[in-house]
Amino acid sequence: MRVLGLETSCDDTGVAIFDTERGLLAHKLYSQSAMHAEYGGVVPELASRDHIRKLLPLVREVLAEAKCATGDLDGVAYTMGPGLAGALLVGASIGRSLAYAWGIPAVGVHHMEGHLLAPMLEPDPPAFPFLALLVSGGHTLLADVRTIGDYRLLGESLDDAVGEAFDKTAKLLGLGYPGGPEIAKAAARGTPGRFRFPRPMTDRPGLDFSFSGLKTAALTASRQHALDAHTIDDIAHAFQEAAVDTLFIKCARALEQTGHTRLVVAGGVGANALLRMRLLELGKKINVRVYYPRPAFCTDNGAMIAYAGSVRLRAGQQEGLAFGARARWSLMDLAAP
């Protein structure tokens, strides 16, 4: 089965074709980050309008790269939520219409299920069950994953998502958008130990997270010191250490509690090199296999939507002729296909 995947939930237009026999045939991404950078964050209306401009040209490019005619496609998968309502509606309306015009089924995919399944696109994919750490701009959660669609929430952020904390801290330090990669770059130049920020909620039992206090600690430090280039790097360093350490501590705790021997890390913050290294070290120490998508498939992309869509379409799931978007949609509301 050959599935076209469309991702338009936020500020990336992603398109890909996944073939259940041959794997990923082509994928393209257009990032709007340069357009949003001057506002310091995503402007929803601009995002929707840009998806309208970019989506169909990208579909053509991907079809050409995959040497695929529209008649070779067996289904269309689009991100149905969660995300920005207007941005989602662009992908949903175009995806549903293309499928209708081509006479093939369409399926709406949960964006976080896309992230969760992205490691399946890699050469040595994880088997079920596993522990998942999903870390993106909108979500921070630990889930017990039995199989596709069978997810149990173990812990989540009670306030800011970790990616959001990266973005907000980068903004207050005058670094660019999106903040995660900018903080990581600055942190690499920083002096270890000059600042130390809290590891929120690690001193009490449980698997929930809180990142707003960490962001405030960075804000306080930035106000108490002259923000020269060294200080910015040093604060970025301490922020990244604290954020990664917090995720590390909760992952170690969740692995111990659940007894899982596989850990899947996905979502934009999963591209963070320090987080990847520290969790790999943990895995070696306690005999747990750690799986990541390649960094380009940690952040938003069409490949993960094409893959997740192919699994659900293959199981017979499909949308009716109506289409919609679900700006808010819990991953835990999904069922096995």
What are the residues binding Zn ion (CB under 5 A)? 136, 300
Collapsed DSSP state (helix, strand, coil) of residue 11: coil
Rounded CA gap, 238 and 16, in Å?
37
Cβ neighbours of 271 (radius 10 Å): 23
CB of 137 to ligand KG4, least distance (A): 3
Contacts of 49 (CB under 8 A, 6+ apart): none
| Side chain identity at residue 1, one-letter code | M
Closest CB to ligand KG4 among residues 64, 188: 188
Q: Tell me which amino acid residue 142 is.
A: L
Taking the complex as a whole, how short is the minimal distance between the CB of residue 253 and Zn ion, in angstroms?
25
Token pair in block for residue 49: 């309008």
Residue 271: which of ligand KG4, Zn ion, none does it interact with, CB under 5 to 8 A by kind?
Answer: ligand KG4
Question: Read out DSSP for 200-267?
Answer: TT-SSSSS-B--HHHHHHHHHHHHHS---HHHHHHHHHHHHHHHHHHHHHHHHHHHHHH--SEEEEES
Residue 266 Cβ vs ligand KG4, minimum distance, rounded to whole Å: 8
What does 3 bind: Zn ion, ligand KG4, none (CB cut-off 5 to 8 Å by kind)? none
- To the nearest whole angstrom, how small is the minimum distance from the Cβ of residue 166 to ligand KG4? 4
> Quick one: which H or E segment has residue 146?
strand 140-147
Residue 39 corresponds to which tokens in the numbers above?
Answer: 């506002």
Nearest residue (CB) to Zn ion, 180 versus 190: 180
| Nearest Cα residue to 83 out of 177, 7, 140 | 7
**CA 139 vs CA 143, 145, 159, 206, 313: distances in Å:** 12, 16, 10, 17, 26
Q: Determine the 3-state secondary structure of 29 from DSSP.
A: strand
For binding to ligand KG4 (CB under 6 A), which residues are involved?
A: 10, 115, 136-138, 163-164, 166-167, 178-181, 184, 267-269, 271-272, 299-300
Cβ closer to ligand KG4: 315 or 332?
332
Q: Which does residue 180 touch among Zn ion, ligand KG4, none (CB within 5 to 8 A, set by kind)?
A: ligand KG4
Whole-number minimum distance, CB 311 to ligand KG4, in Å? 19
- The entry of ligand KG4, Zn ion, none that residue 163 binds, CB within 5 to 8 Å by partner kind: ligand KG4
- Token code pair at residue 222: 């930035």
136/157 with CB nearer Zn ion: 136
Q: Which is nearer to ligand KG4, 2 or 237 (CB)?
A: 237
| Rounded least distance, CB 167 to ligand KG4, Å | 5
Distance of CA 36 to the CA centre of its chain: 18
Instruction: State the minimum distance, in angstroms, from the CB of residue 8 to Zn ion.
Output: 11
Instruction: Give the one entry of Zn ion, ligand KG4, none that residue 167 binds, where binding means its C-beta sits below a cut-off of 5 to 8 angstroms depending on kind.
Output: ligand KG4
Query: Based on CB atoms, which residue is closest to ligand KG4, 62 or 112?
Result: 112
132 binds, among Zn ion, ligand KG4, none (CB under 5 to 8 A by kind): none
